[in-house]
Every structure is written in structure tokens, then in C-alpha cells.
Amino acid sequence: MTVRVQDEVAPAYRAHCPTCRKSGRQFRSYGLAEQAAGGHTDKFRHTTYVIDHYGVRVTGSTQRPEPT
């Protein structure tokens, strides 16, 4: 009898910009994806957030540009 163990899916996060309608590269760490989202916000002044490997926005990850 063979017992199959289901492979666990490692968490994956991406910075997403709804203005540009694209997501950045995949990160295994939430913190790195959050830094990438912040970098996009600073560079292009777009609101960004982090999405998980299901494409769902992570609560509390929204970053907005500072008012000028």
C-alpha cells in the first residue's frame, strides 16, 4: 500500500499595482513584497498592496503615496 503525502504549497507574495494593472515578481517573504510595493509607490506615486499566491489582497498591506 502506498501513502501519498500532499505537497505543501509555500507561501508566495507579490506587490500589485491596480493603476498599472500588473503584479511584480514573486517573493517567499511578505516583508520583501511589502518593500517592493513601497518602492513602486515612491517611484510612481501609485497606491499599491501585497497579494498572496491565490491573488487575494493581504489585509493591511495597502501603501499610499504621501501627499505633496
The mean pLDDT of 24-40, rounded to a whole number, is: 96
The mean pLDDT of 35-64, rounded to a whole number, is: 96
| pLDDT score recorded for residue 27 | 96
Which of residues 46 and 9 earns the better pLDDT score? 46
The residues, any chain, with a CB within 8 Å of residue 33's CB and separated by 6 or more, are 13, 14, 15, 24, 27, 50
Q: What's 6's DSSP letter?
A: P
| pLDDT score recorded for residue 7 | 62
Which of residues 6 and 33 earns the better pLDDT score? 33
| pLDDT score recorded for residue 4 | 59
